[in-house]
Chain A
Amino acid sequence: TQLLEQSPQFLSIQEGENLTVYCNSSSVFSSLQWYRQEPGEGPVLLVTVVTGGEVKKLKRLTFQFGDARKDSSLHITAAQPGDTGLYLCAGGQWDMRFGAGTRLTVKP
Protein backbone atom coordinates (compact mmCIF):
# COMPACT_ATOMS: atom_id res chain seq x y z
CA THR A 1 0.00 0.00 0.00
CA GLN A 2 1.43 3.33 -1.10
CA LEU A 3 1.60 5.89 1.68
CA LEU A 4 1.42 8.89 -0.63
CA GLU A 5 -0.83 8.92 -3.69
CA GLN A 6 -0.03 11.39 -6.43
CA SER A 7 -2.37 12.36 -9.25
CA PRO A 8 -2.44 12.55 -12.12
CA GLN A 9 0.29 10.07 -12.94
CA PHE A 10 0.94 11.70 -16.32
CA LEU A 11 0.10 15.19 -17.58
CA SER A 12 0.85 16.67 -20.99
CA ILE A 13 -0.08 20.29 -21.65
CA GLN A 14 0.74 23.18 -23.96
CA GLU A 15 3.02 26.03 -22.97
CA GLY A 16 1.08 28.78 -21.20
CA GLU A 17 -1.54 26.53 -19.61
CA ASN A 18 -2.14 26.24 -15.88
CA LEU A 19 -2.11 22.94 -14.01
CA THR A 20 -2.52 21.44 -10.56
CA VAL A 21 -1.13 18.16 -9.27
CA TYR A 22 -2.08 16.50 -6.04
CA CYS A 23 -0.51 14.49 -3.25
CA ASN A 24 -2.86 12.66 -0.88
CA SER A 25 -2.48 10.38 2.11
CA SER A 26 -4.50 8.90 4.94
CA SER A 27 -1.63 9.74 7.30
CA VAL A 28 -0.84 13.03 9.01
CA PHE A 29 2.60 14.42 8.24
CA SER A 30 4.70 16.78 10.30
CA SER A 31 6.02 18.17 7.04
CA LEU A 32 5.67 17.51 3.36
CA GLN A 33 8.09 18.29 0.59
CA TRP A 34 7.93 18.67 -3.16
CA TYR A 35 10.79 17.75 -5.45
CA ARG A 36 11.38 17.93 -9.19
CA GLN A 37 13.43 15.25 -10.92
CA GLU A 38 14.84 15.35 -14.42
CA PRO A 39 15.85 12.20 -16.32
CA GLY A 40 19.13 10.73 -15.12
CA GLU A 41 19.38 13.06 -12.13
CA GLY A 42 18.45 13.00 -8.47
CA PRO A 43 15.38 14.88 -7.21
CA VAL A 44 15.83 18.55 -6.34
CA LEU A 45 13.94 20.05 -3.41
CA LEU A 46 11.42 22.74 -4.37
CA VAL A 47 9.69 23.48 -1.08
CA THR A 48 8.91 22.21 2.40
CA VAL A 49 5.49 22.88 3.95
CA VAL A 50 5.03 22.45 7.67
CA THR A 51 1.89 24.19 8.92
CA GLY A 52 -1.65 23.00 8.04
CA GLY A 53 -3.20 25.40 5.52
CA GLU A 54 0.18 26.86 4.62
CA VAL A 55 0.64 28.33 1.14
CA LYS A 56 4.08 28.91 -0.34
CA LYS A 57 4.93 30.52 -3.66
CA LEU A 58 8.02 29.95 -5.74
CA LYS A 59 7.77 32.17 -8.83
CA ARG A 60 5.02 30.53 -10.92
CA LEU A 61 4.64 27.58 -8.53
CA THR A 62 2.17 27.66 -5.64
CA PHE A 63 2.24 24.94 -2.99
CA GLN A 64 -0.51 24.33 -0.46
CA PHE A 65 -0.54 22.05 2.57
CA GLY A 66 -3.96 20.78 3.59
CA ASP A 67 -5.50 21.93 6.86
CA ALA A 68 -5.31 18.40 8.27
CA ARG A 69 -1.72 17.97 7.02
CA LYS A 70 -2.67 14.87 5.01
CA ASP A 71 -2.56 16.32 1.52
CA SER A 72 -0.89 18.91 -0.62
CA SER A 73 -1.20 20.46 -4.05
CA LEU A 74 1.16 22.09 -6.50
CA HIS A 75 -0.21 24.64 -8.94
CA ILE A 76 1.84 25.92 -11.88
CA THR A 77 0.75 29.09 -13.66
CA ALA A 78 1.60 29.63 -17.33
CA ALA A 79 3.65 26.44 -17.64
CA GLN A 80 6.85 26.54 -19.67
CA PRO A 81 8.82 23.72 -21.37
CA GLY A 82 11.43 24.11 -18.65
CA ASP A 83 8.85 22.91 -16.12
CA THR A 84 8.92 19.45 -17.72
CA GLY A 85 9.94 16.76 -15.26
CA LEU A 86 8.81 14.32 -12.60
CA TYR A 87 7.21 16.04 -9.60
CA LEU A 88 7.48 14.07 -6.38
CA CYS A 89 5.95 14.66 -3.00
CA ALA A 90 7.52 13.23 0.13
CA GLY A 91 6.40 13.05 3.73
CA GLY A 92 7.55 11.65 7.00
CA GLN A 93 9.82 12.44 9.85
CA TRP A 94 13.37 11.14 9.92
CA ASP A 95 13.00 8.84 6.91
CA MET A 96 10.90 10.31 4.15
CA ARG A 97 8.58 8.29 1.95
CA PHE A 98 7.96 9.34 -1.61
CA GLY A 99 4.93 9.21 -3.86
CA ALA A 100 5.22 7.72 -7.34
CA GLY A 101 5.22 11.19 -8.87
CA THR A 102 3.45 13.12 -11.61
CA ARG A 103 5.29 13.16 -14.91
CA LEU A 104 4.67 16.56 -16.51
CA THR A 105 5.39 17.37 -20.13
CA VAL A 106 5.00 20.95 -21.33
CA LYS A 107 4.98 21.25 -25.10
CA PRO A 108 6.21 24.43 -26.79
Chain B
Amino acid sequence: EADIYQTPRYLVIGTGKKITLECSQTMGHDKMYWYQQDPGMELHLIHYSYGVNSTEKGDLSSESTVSRIRTEHFPLTLESARPSHTSQYLCASSGGGSGNYGYTFGSGTRLTVV
Protein backbone atom coordinates (compact mmCIF):
# COMPACT_ATOMS: atom_id res chain seq x y z
CA GLU B 1 0.00 0.00 0.00
CA ALA B 2 1.42 3.36 -1.08
CA ASP B 3 2.31 5.87 1.62
CA ILE B 4 2.78 8.71 -0.83
CA TYR B 5 0.00 9.66 -3.18
CA GLN B 6 0.04 11.66 -6.37
CA THR B 7 -3.02 12.92 -8.21
CA PRO B 8 -4.00 12.97 -10.95
CA ARG B 9 -2.26 9.93 -12.40
CA TYR B 10 -2.74 11.18 -15.96
CA LEU B 11 -3.60 14.68 -17.17
CA VAL B 12 -4.13 16.10 -20.65
CA ILE B 13 -4.65 19.86 -20.76
CA GLY B 14 -4.54 22.72 -23.22
CA THR B 15 -1.78 25.29 -23.53
CA GLY B 16 -2.11 28.23 -21.16
CA LYS B 17 -4.07 26.41 -18.47
CA LYS B 18 -3.11 26.59 -14.82
CA ILE B 19 -2.66 23.22 -13.15
CA THR B 20 -1.71 21.88 -9.75
CA LEU B 21 -0.22 18.43 -9.26
CA GLU B 22 -0.97 17.05 -5.83
CA CYS B 23 1.39 15.07 -3.61
CA SER B 24 0.62 13.84 -0.10
CA GLN B 25 2.48 11.49 2.23
CA THR B 26 1.35 9.82 5.43
CA MET B 27 4.77 8.93 6.84
CA GLY B 28 5.48 12.21 8.61
CA HIS B 29 8.59 12.74 6.49
CA ASP B 30 10.08 16.21 6.73
CA LYS B 31 11.81 16.17 3.33
CA MET B 32 9.88 16.14 0.06
CA TYR B 33 10.95 16.40 -3.56
CA TRP B 34 9.68 16.84 -7.10
CA TYR B 35 11.49 15.20 -10.00
CA GLN B 36 10.80 15.45 -13.73
CA GLN B 37 11.43 12.44 -15.92
CA ASP B 38 10.99 12.12 -19.68
CA PRO B 39 10.36 8.58 -20.98
CA GLY B 40 13.49 6.44 -20.68
CA MET B 41 15.50 9.34 -19.35
CA GLU B 42 17.04 10.27 -16.03
CA LEU B 43 15.27 12.01 -13.17
CA HIS B 44 15.89 15.73 -12.79
CA LEU B 45 15.35 17.44 -9.45
CA ILE B 46 13.12 20.50 -9.88
CA HIS B 47 12.04 21.40 -6.33
CA TYR B 48 12.63 20.22 -2.79
CA SER B 49 11.59 21.06 0.75
CA TYR B 50 13.19 20.31 4.09
CA GLY B 51 10.09 21.13 6.09
CA VAL B 52 7.10 23.41 6.46
CA ASN B 53 7.61 26.82 4.84
CA SER B 54 10.90 25.65 3.31
CA THR B 55 11.21 25.30 -0.49
CA GLU B 56 14.20 25.32 -2.80
CA LYS B 57 14.73 25.08 -6.56
CA GLY B 58 16.58 22.08 -7.92
CA ASP B 59 18.95 21.64 -10.83
CA LEU B 60 16.50 21.78 -13.69
CA SER B 61 15.12 25.19 -14.49
CA SER B 62 11.40 24.95 -14.11
CA GLU B 63 8.55 27.38 -14.53
CA SER B 64 6.64 25.59 -11.82
CA THR B 65 6.25 26.65 -8.20
CA VAL B 66 5.73 24.67 -5.01
CA SER B 67 4.44 25.30 -1.51
CA ARG B 68 4.81 23.48 1.82
CA ILE B 69 2.17 24.70 4.22
CA ARG B 70 1.65 21.30 5.84
CA THR B 71 4.19 18.54 6.45
CA GLU B 72 2.20 15.98 4.51
CA HIS B 73 1.37 18.07 1.45
CA PHE B 74 3.69 19.35 -1.31
CA PRO B 75 1.75 20.54 -4.37
CA LEU B 76 3.38 21.69 -7.61
CA THR B 77 1.73 24.40 -9.72
CA LEU B 78 2.19 25.44 -13.34
CA GLU B 79 0.65 28.87 -13.89
CA SER B 80 0.52 28.55 -17.67
CA ALA B 81 1.16 25.13 -19.14
CA ARG B 82 3.08 24.74 -22.40
CA PRO B 83 3.81 21.71 -24.60
CA SER B 84 7.41 21.77 -23.31
CA HIS B 85 6.01 20.87 -19.87
CA THR B 86 4.87 17.50 -21.17
CA SER B 87 6.62 14.94 -18.99
CA GLN B 88 6.24 12.64 -16.01
CA TYR B 89 6.39 14.33 -12.62
CA LEU B 90 7.46 12.23 -9.63
CA CYS B 91 7.05 13.22 -6.01
CA ALA B 92 9.18 11.66 -3.27
CA SER B 93 9.70 11.96 0.46
CA SER B 94 12.46 11.08 2.88
CA GLY B 95 12.56 10.91 6.64
CA GLY B 96 16.24 10.26 7.27
CA GLY B 97 19.27 12.46 7.43
CA SER B 98 21.84 12.66 4.62
CA GLY B 99 19.58 10.59 2.38
CA ASN B 100 20.54 7.43 4.22
CA TYR B 101 16.97 6.25 4.59
CA GLY B 102 16.17 6.49 0.92
CA TYR B 103 13.30 8.02 -0.92
CA THR B 104 9.74 6.80 -1.17
CA PHE B 105 8.27 7.75 -4.53
CA GLY B 106 4.71 8.21 -5.64
CA SER B 107 3.44 6.61 -8.84
CA GLY B 108 3.83 9.86 -10.74
CA THR B 109 1.65 12.18 -12.80
CA ARG B 110 2.01 11.90 -16.54
CA LEU B 111 1.25 15.34 -17.95
CA THR B 112 0.52 16.05 -21.60
CA VAL B 113 0.04 19.63 -22.74
CA VAL B 114 -1.57 19.99 -26.14
Interface residues of chain A, those whose CB is within 8 Å of chain B, are 2, 30-31, 33, 35, 40-45, 48, 50, 86, 88, 90, 92-101, 103
Q: How far is the CA of A103 from the CA of B40 in the complex (A)?
A: 8
Contacts A44-B105, A45-B104; is A95 near B42 (CB within 8 Å)? no
Contacts A40-B108, A41-B107, A42-B108; is A95 near B100 (CB within 8 Å)? no
How many A-B residue pairs have C-beta atoms within 8 angstroms? Tell me.
68
Most buried by A among B31, B58, B100: B100
B100–A43 contact, CB under 8 A?
no
B12 at interface by CB-CB < 8 Å: no
Q: How far is the CA of A97 from the CA of B43 in the complex (A)?
A: 8
Q: How many residues of B contact A (CB 8 A)?
A: 27
A93–B99 contact, CB under 8 A?
yes
Q: Please indicate the chain B residues that have their CB under 8 angstroms from the CB of A95 in the complex.
A: 33, 45, 48, 56, 58
Q: How far is the CA of A41 from the CA of B33 in the complex (A)?
A: 16
B83 at interface by CB-CB < 8 Å: no
From residue A26, how far is it (CB to closest CB) to chain B in Å?
A: 17
From residue B27, how far is it (CB to closest CB) to chain A in Å?
A: 13
A-B contact pairs, 21 of them (CB 8 A): A30-B99, A30-B100, A31-B98, A33-B102, A40-B107, A41-B107, A42-B92, A42-B106, A42-B107, A44-B105, A45-B102, A45-B104, A48-B99, A48-B102, A90-B99, A92-B99, A93-B99, A94-B48, A95-B33, A95-B56, A100-B42
Q: How far is the CA of A36 from the CA of B24 in the complex (A)?
A: 22
A94–B50 contact, CB under 8 A?
yes
Most buried by A among B33, B40, B41, B99: B99
B45–A30 contact, CB under 8 A?
no
Q: How far is the CA of A82 from the CA of B99 in the complex (A)?
A: 28
Could you mark each residue 81-106 of chain B with 1 if its beta carbon is under 8 Å from any beta carbon of chain A, else 0?
00000000010100000111111111
